[in-house]
Amino acid sequence: MESGNRAIQSINRRSSPLVIDHSVALQKSGLIISGSISFRRWELAGHQLVSFAESTAWWLADWLVYGENSFQERYREAVERTSLSYQTLRNYTWVARRFDLSRRRENLSFGHHAEVAALDPPEQDYWLRKAEELGWSRNRLRNNVRASLKEREFEEAPNLPTATERESADARRPGVKDRGIGRGDNKLTLRLSVEQVEQFALVAGEQGLSVDEWVVQVLETAVSGKAR
């Protein structure tokens, strides 16, 4: 035990390690355990190490926020001397500013908070509460949030005609059947964002056309112009 304490004192003089207790100390290149420790002390040290790892991002983020607020002229220079990329550090700062200390959940990681940082505060709190109560991983939280946002986009999309309604309307219009819109092997599938669907539907409606008809018209015009 005495030799172990001397080792920690020597390390203290060399690299100023973080001492967890009188038997366990951390330095940049490793963990030093002096002498023999009990299973309980070893287990507690492990929990502390996990806590340190999960807190590091928050510590660094809050350090950055303080520097940005207090040392505007010298802040960028100091940040550039760290080992992380400037964009990574900017992301840390952004997340920290999105969550006051009182709204951060200690049972969830910095990454959990980063996944919902772009949402409004009430939604942030809702998803973090769900993740904490149900024990979701960061990836599980991300997938559930994305699924919810996609469902919302679908619900907010304009009430466009269904495929059956479009086919029925096409059957009553001469020439459309020959184009094979949505039939058998002659089917063209486009992946569009909600914003694109809304824009296309608006333009097509102004011309008295369905979106399918308008798309075909635009494509035929483009082909005809290229052929000339």
Specify whether 148 is located in the same domain as 198.
Answer: no
Closest among 183, 177, 189 to 215, alpha carbons compared: 189
Task: Assess if residue 13 is contained within a domain.
Answer: no
More confident residue, 193 or 215: 215
Residue 125 in any domain: the answer is: yes
Task: Let me know whether 149 and 204 are in one domain.
Answer: no
DSSP 88-99: HHHHHHHHHHHS
**pLDDT value of residue 164:** 57
Higher pLDDT residue, 201 or 15? 201
Q: Is there a single domain that holds both residue 168 and residue 216? A: yes
Report the predicted TM-score, pTM, of the whole model to 2 decimal places: 0.55
Domain of 125, in residue numbers:
100-156
Considering only 8-17, 44-53, 55-64, 208-217, which range has the smallest mean pLDDT? 8-17
Please state which of the ranges 11-20, 35-44, 96-105, 111-120 shows the lowest mean pLDDT: 11-20
Average pLDDT over residues 212-221: 78
| Domain final position from 156, 184, 202 | 156
Give the CATH number for residue 183.
1.10.1220
DSSP bridge partners of 26: 18, 31
pLDDT tens digits for range 142-185: 999 999 888 887 766 655 555 555 555 555 544 444 434 444 45
Q: Are 8 and 20 in contact (CB under 8 A)?
A: no
* Residue 143 forms part of a structural domain: yes
Domain C-terminal end among 156, 177, 201: 156
Which carries the bigger pLDDT value, residue 102 or residue 180?
A: 102
Residues 177 and 219 in one domain: yes
Edge-first strand listing for the sheet containing 24-27? 18-21, 24-27, 30-33
pLDDT of 226: 58
Task: Please state, in angstroms and as integers, the Cα–Cα distance from residue 154 to each residue in 4, 23, 91, 150, 223, following that order.
Answer: 64, 58, 29, 6, 32
Residue 171: inside a domain, yes or no? yes
3-state secondary structure of 104: coil
Summarize the confidence of residues 95-104 as an average pLDDT.
94
DSSP 83: S
Q: Does residue 89 lie within any of the structural domains? A: no
Let me know if residue 121 belongs to a domain: yes
Tell me the backbone φ, ψ of residue 31, rounded to 5 degrees: -110, 135
23 has pLDDT over 70: yes
Percentage of the chain modeled with pLDDT above 70: 67
> Do 119 and 148 belong together in one domain?
yes
Q: Is 94 within the bounds of a domain? A: no
If you average pLDDT over residues 106-126, what whole number do you get? 93
Residue 11 has pLDDT above 60, yes or no: no
What Cα–Cα distance (Å) separates residue 196 from each residue in 8, 136, 201, 202? 64, 34, 8, 10
Structural domain count of the chain: 2
pLDDT at 123 over 90: yes
